[in-house]
Every structure is written in structure tokens, then in C-alpha cells.
Amino acid sequence: MLNNYSAEDKVLLSVDCIIFGFDKEGLKILLIKRDFAPEKGKWSLMGGFLKKSESLNGAAIRVLNRYTGLQDIYMEQLYAYSEVDRDPVDRTISVAFYALINIENHDTDLIKDHEAEWFSISKMPNLIFDHNEMVNHAVRRLRYRTSTKPVGFELLPEKFTMRQLLELYEAILDKELDKRNFISKINSLDILVKLNEKDMLSSRKGSYLYMFDKEKYEDKLLNHFVLNL
């Protein structure tokens, strides 16, 4: 006999997405200005409520696609936030995801339509509810992931210089890295392809461009490795 759930408490379930990007100015986060009460006009993460027909991953993908126009991106479930009073309107549990996107690839018109904006992690405004806690948690997870998976490449353009890669990892880890040691460790992963092309804007002689070897990269994503920087 099936259990009768009618006597059980009902709660709302939402997903909130911490969307990271990277450009020449450093690590960024995409935020949206809330257009309804409570906290109308204040900055917030992108989010939405879970639909009956969706999985949590499906809901997160829907939210990400709605605000960026992207689908096939790196995304990871972060944590479930369930404090009783976290949402003043109703009892709501939020499952947070973080995603990594190349800022050059997203749909800028969608960003403008939703009054969203990129902020530097170090200069982002105060957020509603417990969203600051979510961001801090996501930054810690991202920093940890840089030592266990080559996820940082998701934030780069298809072709990039070694200097851009170094600057990306310095932005994520929030510290200066030794250039020679960094290059040596990255090369030891054997996931880069050096191209016969140069970025002539970086210096007079130019800097060689690289791409990642997709097959080897995906293998590294699936299998454990350590990158101590």
C-alpha cells in the first residue's frame, strides 16, 4: 500500500546558480537585480523553483540557459541550504550549483534583457538572503577543484596563451604564482596542444597560443590527479 503524504509538511525547493566567468580583469560573477519583493532592487544570484517534471540538474541547466544562452558548460552541485528562516516569504530549501563559463561565449543581449551584470569577486555588492554564503562556499570549492580537476580551462577562450592561463589560476587562487613552476606543472599534465599561432598583442615577439586536448582533458576530468600550485 502506498503511503499517504497528505499529512506531511510541504516545502518549496529552488536552485540558485553561482556563475563564474573570467576576463583580463580577473575572476567575475554574474548577478541579477531582483525585480520583485522582498528585497526588490537588490542584487541576487540567478535562480528558480524546481518544477515537478525536472531533476535538480535539469532545473539548474534551465536557469543557466535562460540567463546566458549556454547549455553545454561545466556545472557542479554545491550544497543544500535549508535554514528555516532563510527566505522570509515561505519555507524554501535551495540547492546551489556553480558553473564556469567563458565570458566571450555567453549571450550579451540576454544579460542586458535581465538587467544582469558581471562583477569582480572582490568588488561584488552585498547579496540577498544567504547568497553571500553560497558565493563564499562556491569560491572555496572552485579553489579546491583547481588541484583535483583542470576545471579552470572552462573559463578561457578556445585559444589562449600560457600567460592567460597563469593569470586565470592566480585570479581563482587569489595569490601570485611562480611562472616557471606553474608552466612546468601544467605541461606535466599533458593536456595542452601548442599551436603554430601567436597572440601578437601580448608582446613584440608575440606569445604562442594553446588549446587543450579535448580527449585527454576529459580523461583528466574523470580520473583523479593532483596539481599543487
* Positions marked active-site: 115
> Residue 143: phi, psi to the nearest 5?
-65, -40
Contact 182, 203 (CB under 8 A): no
> Is 88 in contact with 40 (CB distance < 8 Å)?
no
Distance CA 154, CA 180 (A): 23
Q: Which residues pair with 127 in a beta bridge?
A: 43
